[in-house]
Structures are given as structure tokens and as C-alpha cells.
Amino acid sequence: MSSESPAISWRRGIARFRFAALGTTMVAVASLAGPVAPPPSGKLYQGFYYGGVGTDTHDPTEHDVLPQDVDQYEKTVGAKTTWIYFSDNWFESREFPAATCSWIRDLGKIPYLRLMLRSDVDQLHAEKVFTLDKIVAGDFDQDLRAWARAAKDFGGPILIE
């Protein structure tokens, strides 16, 4: 038996529901453009994650990737990539990263984006802005809906975690 109070248990349930609903929305967005074919038998899709050098206030390892980085990676490994991974840090902007997704799509790749609801680059402390309590309370529902609509309007395959 859980030692949680009914109110805490209920709030956690609502939070799970909201995240599940958001996840379902994101999967639905991805499916609007149609399924991506599986790789040929005996082959795998190649992805790309950019790793830069960060500071206390900037994390380039997850979103400063540029087309020339993708080109250099593909030349180095001798393989074409299918998807390009990057993060969307909400401490920088709560808007869907359409510009980054567009240049990735223009390269013939699939954007693979990590939605990061965090208040700063430092991950060694409790979250200050995007707390579970505020998410459960619906404080960011308008932003999340706008983000999801923009992802849908992007109109191409996209992977979101």
C-alpha cells in the first residue's frame, strides 16, 4: 500500500495523464506526415548527435548543430544520416524550433528533437520554473499547445522525446 496521501496520488495521476496526452499528441504529429519506411534488411538508420563545449550558461552539445557539422560527420563515418538530434531548451525559448527543423528537413533528414522544459543549463539542482506541480496545475498548457500546433504545422516527419 502506498504511503502517499490521496491528493498527492491524484496529482501524480493527473501529471502522468498530461504527459501521456502530450506524448500521444507528439506521436500523432509524427504520424501526420506518414510513416518512415524501415531500413533495408540487415541495415540500420544512422543518426547524428552534436557534442560541443559548453559553459555555465550555454549548452551547445544539444542544439548548436549546423549543416556543416552534419556534412563533416557523414564524411568522417562514411555514411549518410537519417535523423539529426538536438534539444529545444525552454529557458531559451518556448517556441517550436521551426528554423532548425527546416534546415534539417532541407538536408533530407528527420529532425529528432528533445523537448527540454528546464529553467537553465545547470541540471544539478531541483527545477525552478518548470516544476511538476506547475505542469500539473496547467501553468504551461498554453505554451505546450502552441508548441504542439507549430510541430503539427511543420508538416513533415519529426521525432520528439
Tell me, yes or no, whether 34 lies in a domain: yes
Mean pLDDT of the chain: 80
Q: Using one digit for the tens of pLDDT, what is the confidence trace for 79-136?
A: 999 999 999 999 889 999 999 999 999 999 999 999 999 898 877 889 999 999 999 9
pLDDT above 70: residue 144: yes
pLDDT above 90: residue 7: no
Tell me, yes or no, whether 1 lies in a domain: no
Report the phi/psi class of residue 155: left, alpha or beta, with left for phi > 0 and alpha for psi in -120 to 50.
left
Range of 63's domain?
A: 6-160
Nearest CA-CA partner of 57 in 120, 127, 130, 124: 120
Count of domains in the chain?
1
Report the phi/psi class of residue 61: left, alpha or beta, with left for phi > 0 and alpha for psi in -120 to 50.
alpha
Q: What is the DSSP letter of 37?
A: P
| Bridge partner list, 49 | 85
